[in-house]
Amino acid sequence: MRDAIELVAEEVPVALSYNGITQAVMLASPLDLEDFALGFTLGERIVRSAADVYDIEVEEGERGIAIELRIAAGAMARFKRARLARVGNTGCGLCGVDSLAYFGGGGLRRRGAPGAARAGV
C-alpha cells in the first residue's frame, strides 16, 4: 500500500465582536473570514446593509481567531437593545461561549495567509 497525504479541513474557534462587544464564538474553517463575518452579520440582522459595516479586522491567536467589526452607530444601538443569550443545538460545544479566553493560550496577532492542515495517512 502506498503512503498518501490527505488534506484535512481545519476548524478553529472564531469570535465575532461588534465595536468591542463579543456576540458569538463558533467553529469555522479559517478561510474567507471577512466574507464569513459579513454574511453572519447580515444574516443575523445585526446591520441592515453591508454599508453599515465600516471595517473588519481579523486577528489570529493561540486561542483562536478574533474578528472585530466596526459598525454604524445606529446598527450598534439596535444590536445592544436586541442582544440576547444565544442558545443553539449544535454538537460543537461552543454554545454560550462568548470569549476566546475560554480556550486558554496566548494573545492575538494579525492573521497571515490561511492554509489547510496536512495529515499523513
What are the C-alpha distances in Å from 70 to residues 43, 48, 50?
Answer: 17, 14, 11
Of the candidates 7, 21, 50, 92, the residue annotated as catalytic is: 92
CA-closest candidate to residue 17, choices 68, 82, 78, 54: 68
Q: Is 95 a catalytic residue?
A: no
Cell of 18: 461588534
Q: Which amino acid belongs to residue 100?
A: L
Asked whether the beta carbons of 65 and 12 are under 8 A apart, the reply is yes
**75 membership: H or E segment, kind and range:** helix 73-82
Q: How many CB atoms lie within 10 A of CB 72?
A: 16
Catalytic center residues: 92
